[in-house]
Structure 1
Amino acid sequence: MFCSNCGSPNNITAKFCSKCGHALTPDEQSIAAQEGDHAVDTEGQHVAPASPTPEQFYRAAIGPQNQDYYLSKFLRFNQGGASWSWNWGAFFLTFYWLIYRKMWLNALIYFVLPYVIIFTVVFAGTLMGGGESVVGMTYFLVLAVLFVIPPLYGDALYHRHCRKKIAEAKANLALGDEASRLQAVAKSGGVSRVLLIVGAIFLMVMLLGIVAAIAIPAYQQYVTKAEAAGQSYTQVTLPYEQAEKVTGNAGLQYNSLFGGTIYNGSDYNLRHITVEITAKEKDGTVRWVRKFVDDLYIAPLTTGALQISVGGAENAELEWAIVEVKGVPATSPP
């Protein structure tokens, strides 16, 4: 006796399949009671084993998952019933449902076809010009088709898939008897758990892509607004007073570098300064020219002056050139 779920051979008295645990139906047990190697009729003559029924082939092709649901649909289709129904699995997770039921080609078509349609429409709209409305309408129609057609005709599509598997097994003469063909259908049918895991990973990647597609533009918009707000605070050039020429040492402090309206003023707070200093020998020869930036060599003092650490300026004449002075409104955040 062969299990209609996995196709494995079992003892004719078995109630459950020894391999997959599937409950053996009364029909299978009655067939098995007739088909042993020494099966005989009432006159003592050897008889051929009974062939598996169409229902057994369907069960083998479907597998144990939702077997009764699909079997009832298939029997209705065989009797000429309407080819449409509603499959919630095909509605919520169409691509992964196709993979789960081993309909590889249909899954590939479902995945690729929308991109082909959209690309073709966008390309045609670009050539014709002014095709944004056409592209939008086409995109809406494609989404409608992708969400409605698969659940409506998913059961019929799966019925056709199982019939094809059964027909291929029956046409394979190398399989020998019908029991071997039933076992072949069980092996090629059923569901794919490995690719279901792959599909779940793909779904996670797709969801991450959707989140990124939403989050990245939002973040860029936030950065743009922040930069625009920052510019309104920091890109304010302030007036300044040029310092006198002096002879300096390593540590220098100049109260005359800025006027009171720059650092201690009530309207603006100093935030950024760049000073270029030229050190000259007494004969006018340039010893060096350096730029000093705030927070590196320049320390603002509470008196409104700046302290600048200058090395290599011993006995040199220093010329100050303030390159840039910027501040923010006194009411701006720190």
Structure 2
Amino acid sequence: MYCKRCGELLSSDVNFCPSCGAPKESYESESLVPIERSENEELSLFVGKKADVYHRKWGKATNKAGWNWAAFFLGIFWLGYRKMYRFLLIFLGIYLLVDLITWPFYLFLDPVTMDKVSPLIDLLNYVIGIASSVTLGIYGNYFYYKHAKEKINNIKQKFPNHPDIQAYEITKRGGTSWGTFFILLAAAILYAIVIVGIIIFITFQDTEYPGETSSVNENSSIADDFSQNSSIDNWGGSAGDSETSIQTIDEVLQDYMKENKLALTAEDVQYDMENNLDEDFAIAGTAKLDTYYNYGFADASKENFSVSINPVDGGEPWNLYFDRKDFADLYTELKNQGEVDLVATGIIPSEIYDPAQGNMAFAEQVTWDSNE
């Protein structure tokens, strides 16, 4: 037995409703005649305040569809607000499936390949987003009508001879839910924070990414000089090195500059940078992978990896940015060995130069000898 005022289930041993306090009534002793409400009246109870708006929308379209701007712009938030939880789970499932399919590409593909795949993934996400918005814009009213009718029919079947309870349950099951709306909003914000965090993490890991491929532009005759004349003892440039060792390093650097027709060294450029922009220069020293990207080179991490070089002449360190594709072998060597001794050709493009940048340049050519 149910309370006629609020619909609370009543036990046989109570005289008053524990929920609303109304006196218990014996339905067995009453002749209950069901009240037949019209469809519009039932829908009005279910929709609530905006019932007249939805009656107009449903009345204009033969299939109860028509355009719904709120559903188009708010999407799943509108579904949650209107308590359409089944449709909400369907759309969330579609979004989650797309993410499960696409995110492994971000996590496991190397940056070079990802540059090619990323536009396709962005296009897929864009198409899914637009398609879902348009679908809800066109069919949102129809979905809401079907949802309302299903709920109303279930309630009428459950309480066939209790019109007051039917009205209470229809009103309770219908209406809106700001709580669901804000829960979805908070979840969306949290999800966005997680995604941004993953993207930042991947970005900072670019210089440590294992999947680099391609070839390096290497000068064979200078590489032979390294293998014959270089070692960790005579290529470090430390204070304890002998004069003969320093001369050997100078010879290697001079041979490299002569063969590549270079007139400037890193030291020359460092002290007169503005007058040596767009000019090739040679640098020799001990190199290791770095994560420094700044000034005009701030966006270079996607296509270039950063290498910190301590010059053999004891000058200030340089950061050279090597193309990931062309110098993949050097990247692998640096990652495996930690440090290598190299001679490279650098250049500072005038279009990205910043007077405050310090010793930063793009690499054009390199040869090296590993510290083993």
Of the two, which has the highest radius of gyration? 1
**Structure 2 length-normalised TM:** 0.42
Report the structure, 1 or 2, having the larger helix content.
2
**Structure 1 length-normalised TM:** 0.46
